[in-house]
Structure 1
């Protein structure tokens, strides 16, 4: 390009060298990023790359996806399995921590790999796709566990599956009479909106209530393409919820959170959860103390509509599930 700026990539960037060639990683950061890449996967889609300002060293989008050597430093409090998936896995691909709901992880591939991911030791490009036998066993577990009323597809990112494959899984779950709700957790609508085709939207029609939790952490992630993709899902009857992680340098200010929640609502996404960071190895640079998180939300009280208000939650240790963190509010305040 005439100004020397590298052209925007037309394919997913999966190596430090590709990030450097796209102008998203300076030359002096290459050696450190290459060491990180030997342990943790890298993936930055064209849609995400287009959101990054390479001239801003503190860009909140880049911070979420560009590797940093700090990822290789494990703090004393950090855990390889901070949500304790493993002890609550009755069969491969299923996590059952709550009496009335369970996770189904049909694959462990994502369109992008977040540098703060609590499953960062497990996810990667090889995908961890359940075999036919493993999927059958997982669905059989749901069939013989009538106490479970909600199936939550996560991973990895379930919207990375083909519409045919995803539709088949949803239909088999929807056919179980004791399942009332289906839920999908995904980054795809904001990170790879081109995957949200009419065929994918059609695959989500199951005859039972289906909720899609969209993971986004900054207002800029709601690009025109993302808003269009979410609109397609909305028109298909999918209820859209938003979940975010409170992250240092990404959304740890009142203005950033307000912008995020307002952007969600404009895209027909109801803010649902704001997560306290799970202590996965090498994620300490993203940590915001709970009291600071409470103060941020307290400052938003009355500044945004109640529709923009998520529940601030934290995973309890040893797989105890989520607990709300507040903030507490006195009716005499203000």
Structure 2
């Protein structure tokens, strides 16, 4: 039951605050303080409302509340697991594919997911692009006519004010060779009040379409306020896609995935990608195996609508790109989770998982 808005807490950013609200056990605070010293913590009032503190396996809590297991760093885990750095020609730009770039205007989020692949780059105090850096990033896009699509990410770009968002959208719309702006965000379900009328207007470009890709991993993230925020976007003519991460103990069963993807479609969001867990530091307790993920995707076929079927993908470590985890790109090379993965350019890479 949602609280009276007047009694809602502000975003919780300290583990002591989490304990005070009954979200973590006080005895765990020393370990959780060590986690928070490495990886940022933020839990919005909306997420607090969605967590069931009486359920130790609550799938919303697992995504946003710090866990002592994050202190276990495995040898294969990486600070930059998808390889952004080698493809960063100017600050704020990642240009891995010829026809599209990432534009990262901010490195902060309204919430910090415990499995985030950029968890060592984001958080309070992380660098946002200043005016000169944003100018340089947009000049790079304008100077490379092969770029057709710009993906706003970060951080979460929808923490920008409507004014700043509108300015960026307008500047991108003024670049003749661009055909699409895509925004990757969690805001509609984790901080839905940000999706107000001003933000909706800011997102709509005069010339090219803006698509919003919502990151959501479990149907329980869709509260009534979140559904209303999504409706404001879609009713305004902004198409939405959904992407999720496959995670142990959160959504690694057919029933949860089915209900999650159906919830997306019921809210006029097309499931787009189901991402295999990245090798981010301190996230091994979330990762499934590739074999488990492929078996789940096979089980979804037949009795679950095609509209509810995302593509199961791997972002190959080292910046080699995303590929579907199908026979066309994946070959087993051993009996213990060893694979050979072909990247989009035909080069093969070993992968264990």
Q: Which of the five TM-score ranges fits, normalised by the shorter chain?
A: over 0.9
In the aligned structure 2, how far is the partner of 1:126 from the partner of 1:226? 27
Matched-pair contact (CA < 8 Å) for 1:85–1:95: yes
Say if 1:8 and 1:50, in contact at 8 Å, map to a contact too: no
CA–CA separation in structure 2 for the residues paired with 1:127 and 1:203: 24
Cα 1:43–1:20, aligned 2, differ >3 Å: closer, same or farther? Answer: same
Contact 1:16–1:37 (8 Å) recurs in 2 = yes
Q: Deviations over 1:126-153 (max 9, x none)?
A: 2421100000000000000111100000
Please tell me whether residue 85 in structure 1 is matched to residue 64 in structure 2.
no
SS at match of 1:319: coil
**Equivalences for 1:1-334 in 2 at 5 Å?**
9-207=8-206, 208-326=208-326
Which consecutive unaligned segments of at least 5 residues does structure 1 have? 1-6, 329-334
Provide structure 2 residue ranges, at least 5 long, that are not aligned to the other structure.
1-5, 329-353
Contact kept in structure 1, 2:184 and 2:213, CA below 8 Å: yes
Counterpart contact for 1:230–1:267, Cα < 8 Å: yes
CA contact (8 A) 1:273 1:312 kept: yes
Q: Residue 317 of structure 1: CA displacement?
A: 2.3
Aligned-pair CA distance for 1:205: 1.2
Provide the C-alpha distance between the structure 1 equivalents of 2:114 and 2:180, rounded to a whole number of angstroms: 31
Q: Distance in 2 between matches of 1:229 and 1:326?
A: 35
Task: Map Cα deviations across residues 254-301 of structure 1 (whole Å, 9 max, x no partner).
Answer: 001001101101111100000001100100000010110011111111
Q: Work out whether residues 279 and 317 of structure 2, in 8 Å CA contact, stay in contact via their aligned partners in 1.
A: no
Relative to the length of structure 2, the TM-score reads 0.89
SS at match of 1:291: helix
1:264–1:270 Cα contact (<8 Å) kept? yes
Contact map agreement 1:64 1:114 (CA 8 A) in 2? yes
Task: Tell me which residue corresponds to 1:331.
Answer: none
Deviation at 1:9, TM superposition (A): 4.0
Distance in 1, matches of 2:271 and 2:97, equals 22
Distance of 1:243 and 1:47 partners within structure 2: 20
**Cα offset, 1:327, TM superposition:** 7.5
- Return the offset for 1:8: 7.0
| Deviation, structure 1 residue 192 | 0.3
* 3-state DSSP of counterpart to 2:50: coil
Classify 1:31/1:9 alpha carbon distance in 2 versus 1 (closer, same or farther; 3 Å): farther
Q: What CA distance in whole angstroms lies between the structure 2 residues aligned with 1:199 and 1:15?
A: 31
1:133 alignment partner, SS class: helix
Q: 1:240, 1:269 within 8 Å by CA — same for their partners in 2?
A: yes
Deviations 1:68-94 (Å, cap 9, x if unpaired)? 121121112111100110110000000
Separation (CA, whole Å) in 1 of partners of 2:299 and 2:7: 38
- The structural deviation recorded for 1:32 is 1.0
SS at match of 2:323: strand
Q: Distance in 2 between matches of 1:317 and 1:15?
A: 31
RMSD of aligned Cα (Å): 1.2
TM-score (norm 1): 0.94
C-alpha distance in structure 2 between counterparts of 1:216 and 1:162, whole Å: 22
* Off by >2 Å, runs of 4+ in structure 1: 7-10
SS in 1 for 2:285: helix
